[in-house]
Amino acid sequence: MELNADDLRIGIVGVGFWGRNHLRALKELGVRVEAICDLNEERAAKLAKEFAVKKYYTDLDEMLRKEDLQAVTICTPSVTHADCAVRALEAGLDVLVEKPFASTVEESFKIIDAMKSNQRIVMTGFIERFNPAVRKAMELLESGEIGDVIMSHGRRIGWWPERIGDVGVVKDTAIHDIDLVRFIFKQDPVQVYAKGGRQKHRLEDHVQAILTLKDGDKVAFIEANWLTPRKKREMHITGSSGVLSIKFLTQEVSVEKADLVLEPIIKPYEPLKLELQHFLECVAERRNPLVDAFDGLKAVAIAEAVLESMEKDKVVEIDLKNLA
């Protein structure tokens, strides 16, 4: 769908570090950002002026009442996702909720209940699904380039992002790979064993987890921390006839096989713009997004199982059958 500035009227809730990126990307896509809302009035006023947004608010209910919006993106702290999303849904708007979908499974269900009762569209902001490198990797996997997928190893390491204060590394960082494991393997994990803890921060800042997939003979390793000086975002997927590697930051993919190495050329593009464009297309065409509310819910449930395993130092069973 060709997006024009007059297609949709969008609002943004929370214009801190990541909300500002939403604002920039939407404006660059030519989308009508009618209003923004942030508790920090000085920040909201500054960004409204910088990006030529007509109205800014410090009260969400006031924005929802006064503005004729069709959808909002929610970029507030995780503990407020459910409250903000429910209020927007009850006002008749479609919603994109940044990851984590909510701070708990119970709060995730509140969003889903509001989505159902108001018959609106809800998308979870798992940006890596829109990374051109992930899209190329999925093409290669689905064409059988490395045979049957057996295991994966995801690494997300680097310094603590100071913008984060309400969740630890599991729900902020590792949750990306939790979602990608479900996306790549096309099945859910059934158990997890995890080790981790707090070295320098109030909440957990390092985790190593082993997820066992539904098939039983397939596993996914997830490593994440806020301790190492160099930022790395990568995943290695082992198949029966090769290894596929993804570098998320540089949008590179390589395939190593017994007799050759493939490094396909990928046209780089900002994943956030692809994600937001997809959301707007779903709103305009009234179709379910690639990453829906149940994907967000399941990722939160798996993250909570990881945290439980860390705390109890034991294998934790994961039952997602009743969450869909």
What the chain holds in terms of domains, given with CATH numbers, is: 9-127+272-292 (3.40.50.720), 129-267+302-323 (3.30.360.10)
- Of 83, 130, 78, 72, the C-alpha closest to 101 is 78
Q: Which residues lie closer than 8 Å to 135 by C-beta, 6 or more apart?
A: none
How do residues 142-153 score in pLDDT, each as one tens digit? Answer: 999 999 999 999
pLDDT band for position 322 (cuts 50, 70, 90)? confident
> pLDDT confidence of 131, banded at 50, 70, 90?
very high
| Residue 2: pLDDT over 70 | no
The pLDDT tens digits of the residues spanning 179-190 come to: 999 999 999 999
CA dist 88 and 83 (Å) reads 9
pLDDT of 200 reads 87
| Percent of the chain residues past pLDDT 70, beyond the cut | 97
pLDDT, position 3 = 47
H helix intervals, 91-229: 105-118, 132-142, 169, 175-185
pTM of the full structure: 0.95
Q: Which of 5, 300, 34 is nearest to 167 (CA)?
A: 300
Residue 155: per-residue pLDDT: 98
pLDDT at 5: 41
DSSP-derived pairing of the beta strands 9-13 and 149-157: unpaired
How confident is the model at residue 67, as a pLDDT?
Answer: 97
pLDDT above 90 as % of the chain: 91
Mean pLDDT of the chain: 95
